Chain A
């Protein structure tokens, strides 16, 4: 099993609050990703990183921001949560330079903004 962790698993919060979703991996992977997934729908890539100090926007526009100060840590922040941010957020990582890019996913954070 992959060693990638997300906290919290569930979060219910009011509109306007600032939140940070944590993602950590202990595999030493350089690449990390954030996906957003609504119930019964497909995953959408919102952020990714190729290593420390590298962050890129994904295919789906998101008001969230990310940082990558340490290899193992890739937190996602929403400065002012809104009901439209209600979704499941999945973090993943993969090994840089691997022949093929197998991604290992965390358990996800289910966010509800009231």
Chain B
């Protein structure tokens, strides 16, 4: 399973755009890139997922270059409530026998948004 590397912490101010980059040099052909958000004392929550190029939803955008060895989560105009730990994961897509799907959570990036 591919290992990911991301900054341990980042600081930002309300209203700014935040970009968190994740390295995954050993990503496999079948791996998807997924980002989760976790608030203290809660379980992680899915934010966005992609395979290549760009994905956008109502919460964030995910940019993936052609070589897929890194990805960047972009949070537009953050607010105080975006203060959380953000995890980048790469994981097996299910194989034909549906036995895939294990994910490895790294340390994550602790984002602190200040007023």
Contact = CB atoms under 8 A, between A and B. Distances in A.
A100 B43 contact: no
Nearest to A99: B93
B29 interface: no
Interface residues on chain B, size class = 20 to 34
B56 to A, nearest CB: 16
Contacts of B99: 50
Contact of A94 (B43, B44, B101, B105): B101
Contacts, number: 65
A101 B41 contact: no
A76 B85 CA distance: 26
Given A45-B102, A45-B104, A50-B99, A101 B43 contact: no
Given A42-B107, A42-B108, A96-B94, A101 B101 contact: yes
B41 to A, nearest CB: 7
Interface of B is mostly: loop
A50 B49 CA distance: 22
Contacts of B32: 100-101
Interface of B: 32, 34, 41-46, 49, 51, 87, 91-94, 98-108
25 contacts: A31-B101, A41-B107, A42-B106, A42-B107, A42-B108, A43-B87, A43-B105, A44-B105, A45-B104, A59-B102, A88-B41, A90-B43, A97-B98, A98-B94, A99-B93, A99-B94, A100-B34, A101-B34, A101-B92, A101-B93, A101-B103, A102-B49, A103-B46, A105-B45, A107-B42
